[in-house]
Amino acid sequence: MSCSHRRIGGRPTVLMVDQMEPVVAERCAERYDLIKAWDVDREAVLQARGHDVSALLASGATAVDGRLLDRLPNLQIITCGGVGFDYVDLRSATERGVVVTNTPGVLDDEVADTAIGLLLMTVRELSAAERWVREGHWASDGPYRLSPTTLASRTLGVVGLGRIGLAIAHRAEGFGLRISYHNRRRRGDVPERYAYYDTLVGLAAAVDTLMVVLPGGAGTYHAVNAHVLGALGREGVVINVGRGSVVDTDALVASLRSGSIAAAGLDVVEGEPLVPPELLDCPTAVVLPHVASGSVATRRAIGQLVLDNLESWFTSGTAVTPVRQVQ
Ligand code: NAP
Ligand code: 8YV
């Protein structure tokens, strides 16, 4: 995608609202007039420098909404560090002619590896077993209990068979799992053995394990609800590496408490970083602090694509990985 860019002259001013890998700020400061706007009085920054800013760097900690964009009248581009950009009001950006970019592809393997790790931690209770050792129970109370669930012979329902979902499916097949999926549209470029379900509840009824890899936002809000969890059934395991908002946490906690599903493993949580105590109280829940892409190497790759988007935009007026914007 190519968009007209409006170079104002001199070194472009870049406003970084969220912290990323340190190298991103270092490289930015070499080429641009960089304003770091975390842990500061942001209002004062916007007041003093808002008119200067032509690029905004964000990675999810700050809501990039119309109110913020109104303070940045000369903004040309929002570069998101990460695939998900549900914290950006795309319509407001589009209305203002602001291009939005994300970082697809560079984190698929890391996130897929973590998803499989989380699935194993959940069905085999590995983190609980490890706590058992650390808390001294092994020596005093004997072996950790046998896990009531196992990975073998599961059918994995991938909810959102996109780039990451497909990388997870490839790995899961290596563990002998059968793959089904739900997207809004059936994919023509995946193996025919991947069964497609045009509804999420239909998928849930057909599998025993849901792997949620959906983007956040209004279209997916609480897509995994009581109805879906009920369809999944007592052997059911839910893994979420997409966005916390996709899973109705109250319904999930109720299902875990009643045993109407077996377990849940979450890398992302609604309202994170605050995690509801009721969820943490569920012994069959595993919760990770949104670490799926969190290796130095992968976060650097994300940062590099952010820098590439900026560079390309300011030299040619073309973004490398723009997101499709709403009309
Ligand atoms: P992607 O390639 O765009 O895949 C998204 C998939 O979701 C597509 O197959 C899409 O298919 C499906 N989808 C979208 N909206 C849907 C809806 N309303 N109902 C059903 N299916 C829907 O994206 P990706 O690169 O795989 O990333 C997916 C998401 O993972 C990101 O948006 C982000 O939120 C999350 N993520 C999390 C982490 C982490 O650290 N935990 C890291 C990276 C990404 P259709 O268009 O056919 O519906
Ligand atoms: C990180 C993510 O949270 O790409 C996404 O959508 O959720 C993760 O990779 C993001 O990169 C923030 O640093």
Q: Which two tokens stand for residue 89?
A: 């009001």
Instruction: Report the alpha-carbon angle 24-30-35, nearest 5.
Output: 65
Q: Any catalytic annotation for residue 290? A: yes
Taking the C-alpha atoms of residue 319 and residue 175, their distance in angstroms, rounded to an integer, is 38
For residue 51, indicate whether it is catalytic.
no
Residues of the chain with pLDDT under 50: 1-4, 8
What is residue 132's predicted lDDT score, i.e. its pLDDT? 98
The predicted structure's pLDDT at residue 323: 97
Identified catalytic residue from 5, 154, 182, 243? 243
**Cβ atoms of residues 255 and 226 within 8 Å:** yes
Q: Which ligand is nearest to the CA of 181?
A: 1
Pocket of ligand 2 (CB under 6 A): 59-60, 81-84, 107, 290, 293, 302
How far is residue 7's CA from residue 296's CA, in Å, rounded to a whole number? 33
**pLDDT of res. 9:** 57
**Predicted pLDDT at 145:** 97
Atom of ligand 2 nearest to the CA of 85: 6
DSSP 148: S
Minimum CA distance residue for ligand 2 atom 10: 82
pLDDT of residue 39: 83
Residue 301 near ligand 1, beta carbon < 6 Å: no
Max CA pair span of the chain = 71
